[in-house]
């Protein structure tokens, strides 16, 4: 363990890293108020994170193309699962560890477009303490929009940081017959592991839900990697309430998802 830690933490910041670990182990309250060592800080603002909702832009537009409620519920689930990779595993792959995002200033805006401008994102930091980000995405041509907000409540437990994502997302789909179908999405809990090695990484935990106005419910159970077994970022999703129950298992990439 000492060798792993030595390889992950810069030599000139070992002292500050150990001080940081000691401070979070005894801290009571929201860990966002603590200052982390510079090598673990990200240049990305927390206000930019809603952009991950829009990155699977083709899947976002596909949600309105389902012919039946069951088809649309499945398309919503597949889009949601595809967003998880960008939100929770991309930075670990690119930099070798998760980084603490910048705390946005109140009123900070992040604007984005996808698919040659067909999908438009507006995100705004609506609270500074605690940090709360509100967002709205819309593809008018596809008749699909998403709005929501997200805050984080963090705490230290044993050898990990627990992040409870407070908030939800709400999808609205315009149907071909002029009707509206909606989906309420809750957010998974995050476990930040690898702290003692100086290489934090995220594991999804607990259960999140996607409840459709058509009565169809998707229940996503996040398994993650245990101390001795299991695969990182794995899940099991069950779609119920339609004509049949469907189960999807895999990891949060479109190509890795399989149903049965």
SS3 string of 66-103?
Answer: CCCHHHHHHHHHHHHHHHHHHHHCHHHHHHCCCCEEEC
In sequence order, the β-bridge partners of residue 240 are 217
Unique residue bearing structure tokens 């592991």: 193
Residue in the block written with tokens 């309105």:
64
Q: Is the dihedral of CA 229, 230, 233, 237 positive or negative?
A: negative
Model pLDDT, residue 194: 83
As a residue count, the chain comes to 260
Residues 6+ apart with CB under 8 A from 30: 130, 153, 154
**Pairing mode of beta strands 41-45, 100-102:** parallel
pLDDT at res. 90: 58
CA 27/CA 13 separation, integer angstroms: 21
* pLDDT score recorded for residue 3: 37
Tell me the C-alpha distance between 132 and 110, whole Å.
Answer: 13
Q: What are the φ and ψ backbone dihedral angles of 56, each rounded to 5 degrees?
A: -80, 60
**pTM of this prediction?**
0.87
The residues of the chain scoring below 70 in pLDDT are 1-8, 28-32, 89-96, 224-231, 252-260
Beta strands (DSSP E) in the chain are: 41-45, 100-102, 109-114, 119-127, 132-139, 144-157, 160-174, 180-185, 189-193, 201-205, 207-212, 217-222, 235-240, 246-250, 258-259
């Amino acid at each position: 363990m000492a060798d792993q830690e030595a390889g992950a933490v810069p030599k000139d910041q070992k002292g500050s890293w150990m001080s940081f670990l000691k401070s979070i182990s005894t801290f009571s309250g929201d860990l966002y108020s603590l200052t982390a060592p510079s090598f673990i800080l990200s240049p990305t603002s927390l206000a930019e994170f809603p952009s991950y909702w829009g990155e699977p832009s083709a899947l976002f537009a596909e949600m309105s193309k389902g012919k039946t409620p069951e088809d649309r519920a499945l398309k919503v689930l597949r889009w949601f699962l595809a967003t998880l990779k960008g939100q929770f595993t991309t930075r670990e792959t690119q930099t070798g560890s998760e980084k603490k995002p910048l705390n946005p200033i109140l009123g900070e805006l992040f604007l984005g477009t996808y698919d040659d401008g067909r999908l438009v994102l507006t995100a705004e930091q609506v609270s500074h303490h605690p940090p709360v980000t509100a967002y709205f995405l819309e593809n008018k041509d596809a008749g699909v929009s998403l709005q929501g907000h997200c805050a984080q409540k963090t705490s230290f437990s044993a050898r990990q940081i627990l992040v409870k994502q407070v908030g939800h997302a709400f999808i609205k789909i315009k149907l071909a017959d002029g009707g509206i179908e909606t989906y309420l999405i809750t957010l998974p809990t995050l476990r930040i592991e690898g702290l003692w090695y100086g290489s934090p990484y995220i594991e999804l935990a607990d259960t999140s839900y996607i409840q459709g106005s058509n009565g169809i419910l998707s229940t996503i159970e996040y398994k993650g990697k245990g101390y001795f077994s299991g695969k990182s970022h794995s899940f099991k999703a069950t779609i119920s309430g339609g004509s049949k129950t469907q189960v999807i298992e895999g990891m949060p990439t479109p190509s890795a998802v399989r149903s049965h």
